[in-house]
Amino acid sequence: MKHMFISDAHAHVEKEITVKGWLSNKRSSGKIAFLELRDGSGFIQAVVVKSAVSEETWGAVDALTQESSLAITGTVSAHPKKEDVFELQVVSIDIIHIAEEYPISNKEHGPDFLMNNRHLWLRSKKQWAILRIRDVVETAINEYLHIEHFIRTDSPIFTPNSCENTTDLFAVPYFDLGEAFLSQSGQLYIEAAISSVGRCYDFGPVFRAEKSVTKRHLTEFWMMDAEAAFVEHDENIGLQEGLVKHIVKSCLEKCTKEFEILERDTTPLKAVVEKSFTRYTYKEAIVKLQELGSDIKDGEDLGNDDEGMLTKDSDVPVFIEKWPSAIKPFYMKIDPDDSAIALCDDLIGIEGAGEIIGGSQREDDFDALLERIKEDGLDEKEYEWYTDLRKYGAVPHSGFGIGVERMVRWMSGVAHIRECIPFPRTVNRIKP
């Protein structure tokens, strides 16, 4: 019998096919049974009428426990009332494996229990939906960047020095070379690659040995860093807005069922695709925050509460640009109009998404960059290869980094970032 993926059911109406999957749920009246079957591509209700099937198949219905694997042969029918919903009129059932009593039930489980059983928890409908949204987010990122002439150039994980923060590094004993550090960002490396390929991005795991235990931190998470030659601050912000819009649009187009499962109201996402994002300078943001009652002072970094306050009444993400260079890293270009300002931006998502993107134009002047490296107390010898890039055909260039899990968290509307990566790693967890 021809195999069908549930997501292709629309193409097999009135045909007899076989679906292979797992039993998510079962209801039976004694004469008719409803099996909720999933195969990874989707969910379908299989209807078994006792009088229409063999004794063996009806027996199978009885034997099946939750999570049992099975092959169902039947005819696809369109749901009489609901559009784009299909059912399976069962002809026969082959049991593949009867599951033991499944430890995850519909009752509430504590987060520790669920995290210890992450390998099974992934099967829950909600987790399925988040995994699928993550795939769509990642695919959309690859798509958009290729449309905009970027190619992918993977940056290394083992690095001799750190891009931003010298304290939160994981150190790995490395043969006779002492220690390597796990990358916190590939930015410096893709800056080198733009002189070859013009526009490029990396997309991989990065690592922070931060002790923070919050809803927004993981020790291992996925970042996409993009970098483009001849792109300056304003165009850089345009690329970021374009990327976020493309991701949101992809999710709206491809994740209807996923959003339904997550009971995620997509109205706010539609506005994000249609409207221009808001842009505040850092100075404007501080004034606004103080008006709104924050005790933040000029020159200070924004806290989570501040980010929330700034976006609370906004229906689009908010760029905060042109920060004080004193609180930003050495590689950001200083505003030619104001030496205290860095040409950078953070993008704050709506609905409590927090910071989604950080970007900046990069310092392309050799002397200015070297001075910043010295000011920050970094070892200029370690950055020689990076400053080299300013000796041989320096160009204005800019880039940004987007955190995959934060984007997935925003899209799926879940509270905790640990649900936005298949196997989360935190200060207290490296298992399963």
- Residues 224 to 253 in contact with a second copy, rule: CB under 8 A: 229-230
Q: By CB under 8 A, is residue 102 in contact with a second copy?
A: yes
Please give the residues from 343 up to 372 whose contact with a second copy meets the rule CB under 8 A.
Answer: 364
Q: Please select the residue that binds a second copy; options are 37, 131, 223, 309, rule is CB under 8 A.
A: 131
In this chain, which stretch among 83-91, 139-147, 286-294, 367-375 interacts with a second copy, using CB under 8 A?
139-147
What is the four-CA torsion angle of 212, 141, 255, 130, rounded to 10 degrees? -20
**Structural contact between residues 217 and 225, judged by C-beta atoms closer than 8 angstroms:** no
CB of 116 to a second copy, least distance (A): 8
Is 254 a residue that touches a second copy (CB under 8 A)?
A: no
Answer yes or no: are the C-beta atoms of 159 and 192 closer than 8 Å: no
Helix-strand-coil percent breakdown of the chain, rounded to 5?
35, 30, 35
- Please choose, from the candidates 411, 412, 417, 403, the residue with its C-alpha nearest in 3D space to the C-alpha of residue 111: 417
- Considering the rule CB under 8 A, would residue 80 count as an interface residue with a second copy? no
Query: Backbone dihedral region of 224: left (phi > 0), alpha (psi from -120 to 50 degrees) or beta?
Result: beta
Is residue 120 within the footprint of a second copy (CB under 8 A)? yes
Binding of residue 217 to a second copy (CB under 8 A)? no
Q: Which among 75-83, 244-252, 370-378, 417-425 is the span making contact with a second copy, rule CB under 8 A?
A: 417-425
State how far the alpha carbon of 365 is from the alpha carbons of 3, 16, 17, 193, 390, in Å. Answer: 61, 68, 65, 17, 6
Among positions 159, 162, 185, 240, the unique one binding a second copy when judged by CB under 8 A: 159
Q: Residue 157 CB, nearest distance to a second copy (Å)?
A: 5
Q: Considering the rule CB under 8 A, would residue 35 count as an interface residue with a second copy?
A: no
Contact status: 69 vs a second copy (CB under 8 A): yes
378 binds a second copy (CB under 8 A): no
Place of tokens 């940056």: 155
CA distance 219 to 168: 10
Assess 139 for contact with a second copy (CB under 8 A).
yes
Rounded to whole angstroms, how far apart are CA atoms 6 and 36?
A: 12
Identify residues 169-188 at the interface with a second copy (CB under 8 A).
170-177, 180, 182
